[in-house]
Structure 1
Amino acid sequence: MKKNRPMIWSARHSLVSAMAAMLLVVSQWAAAEQKPASAALDKEGPEYVVQTVTDQLLSLAKDDTAELKKDPEAFYGKVESLLEPSVSFDFIAKNVMGPTYWEQANEKQQEQFVATFKRSLVETLVKGMASNVDLDIQLVSEQSQVLKNKASIVQKVSGPEGSNLVVYSLGKGKSGSWKVLNVVLDGVNLGKTFRSQFAQGVKDNKGDLQAAIEGWSAQTKG
């Protein structure tokens, strides 16, 4: 049994903790000393996508975090632009709402939730980017699986307090580009966690979908 598991396990059933878990791991990758993407990786493959985002976050964390204090909105914009080509925010947000609530929502509400969801992820990521933790990040190719239009890419994150497996689910869209669709952290499916939290938000607001959408950002900041 592992001792002193990382702080990401402190409250896995909370949306805020789950989201912070995923993004803290990513932000710690950005702060850690990492090797450049292997030249052996297929530059159009899903493993390269995951590694490239890690390297780009590293560069951003090293060079631009001072801008966060001077102009937060500009910094958020940089992080969002960095993630946009590799993360399918629209797909993830739609699945977080779930098919029932997505179909109930009008077009304006759908667009509002996608924007709110995206910004909440970016802001949570930025909050964690100041963390500097020495971690060893390795692709676990023997556990990864790449099919024609979908892939599961596994990375092992090792540090002083133990190790974690992070599994990225990616899909290839009509454009032919791979994008992240979900993340599973040591068996915790964050997409499903987010969906359960959104459904609970609708319930707490007595079926008021608009109130649940507006409350999402406040919940993730809590």
Structure 2
Amino acid sequence: MMKKILVMLTATLFAGLALAKTDDSAVGPHEVVANTTQELMKVIEEARGYVDQDPDRFNNEVRRIMDQVVDFQSFARGVMGKYGSRAYYQSLTSEEDKAQFRDHVLRFTQNFKDGLINTYAKGLLGFNGNKIEVLPLAEDADLSGSVGVRQHIYGERAKPYEVIYTLRRDAQGDWKLRNVIIEGLNLGRIYQNQFRTAVATYDGDIEKVIDNWTVAPKEVMEQAAGDAGEK
């Protein structure tokens, strides 16, 4: 059951948090997630009426909203590991190498975003109105850096599934998604491991890694869930 939940929630949560766009930068991370949960249910219900005839409409809506809220470049650079790090960029000595680094980051960010949206938007309609609870932040929570917002999703088992959204303010002061942890499984690390494996597969050719990138398939996510369940 955990494997099924992991795959479904990965779809729901990435797009779900993306619906939290707000023009009020004073809204805190807890409110962002709580408001998003309600809005997401509306979007899913509306899509049921047209998605069979016009699936591109749904994908485009998800893309438009996610572009506004998810910090794809920071997320993608984390997935790239050292190949997307500031330290690696600063170690480069030629302008040509630095220009290539910037190009790699931009192209991988686009491929990473496209993969997430195209793959996981398909899973959104599998969410069937489970009870969802967003837990309040501690009164003394430090909002100066990254903040984890916990969410409980109730399913067939007595104990709820726990999801932790990692959010951080961007340069404009808006809270944006940086990572998601589902039942202890860090999705950022799963993708980082996938990127590292691809680097080895293509003998360090980052161009080939980017050109052949695909979002981790269900088999990879389910294997990660199985490994976690055995611990």
Residue pair 2:133, 2:152 contacting (<8 A) in 1 also: yes
Greater strand fraction, Structure 1 or Structure 2: 1
Amino acid at match of 2:114: R
- 2-side partners of 1:147 and 1:28: how far apart? 23
In structure 2, the CA distance between the partners of 1:159 and 1:121, relative to structure 1 (3 Å rule), is: same
Question: 2:196 aligns to what?
Answer: 199
Q: Indicate the SS of the match to 1:207.
A: coil
Structure 1 portions without partners, runs of 5+: 10-19, 31-36
Question: 2:210 aligns to what?
Answer: 213
Amino acid at match of 1:46: P
In structure 2, the CA distance between the partners of 1:29 and 1:75, relative to structure 1 (3 Å rule), is: closer
- 2-side partners of 1:27 and 1:84: how far apart? 12
Q: Indicate the SS of the match to 1:216.
A: coil
Q: Deviations over 1:10-40 (max 9, x none)?
A: xxxxxxxxxx35424438979xxxxxx9xxx
- 2-side partners of 1:174 and 1:207: how far apart? 33
Question: 1:26 aligns to what?
Answer: 13
Matched, 1:124 2:111: no
Amino acid at match of 2:30: E
Question: 1:160 aligns to what?
Answer: 156
Instruction: Point out the structure with max Rg over C-alpha.
Output: 2
- 2-side partners of 1:24 and 1:190: how far apart? 12
Structure 1-normalised TM-score? 0.76
Question: 2:180 aligns to what?
Answer: 183
In structure 2, the CA distance between the partners of 1:25 and 1:126, relative to structure 1 (3 Å rule), is: closer
Q: Given the alignment, which residue of 94, 107, 131 partners 1:136?
A: 131
In structure 2, the CA distance between the partners of 1:211 and 1:23, relative to structure 1 (3 Å rule), is: same
CA RMSD across the alignment: 3.0
Residue pair 1:92, 1:182 contacting (<8 A) in 2 also: yes
Residue pair 1:156, 1:164 contacting (<8 A) in 2 also: yes
Q: Indicate the SS of the match to 1:154.
A: strand
Amino acid at match of 2:181: V
Shift of 1:101: 5.0
Residue pair 1:28, 1:128 contacting (<8 A) in 2 also: no
Question: 2:37 aligns to what?
Answer: 54
- 1-side partners of 2:76 and 2:15: how far apart? 24
Tell me the number of residue pairs that the alignment of Structure 1 and Structure 2 aligns. Answer: 199
In structure 2, the CA distance between the partners of 1:118 and 1:29, relative to structure 1 (3 Å rule), is: closer
Question: 1:90 aligns to what?
Answer: 73
- 2-side partners of 1:124 and 1:96: how far apart? 17
Residue pair 1:202, 1:212 contacting (<8 A) in 2 also: yes
Amino acid at match of 2:119: T
Q: Indicate the SS of the match to 1:176.
A: coil
Amino acid at match of 2:32: V
- 2-side partners of 1:47 and 1:25: how far apart? 18
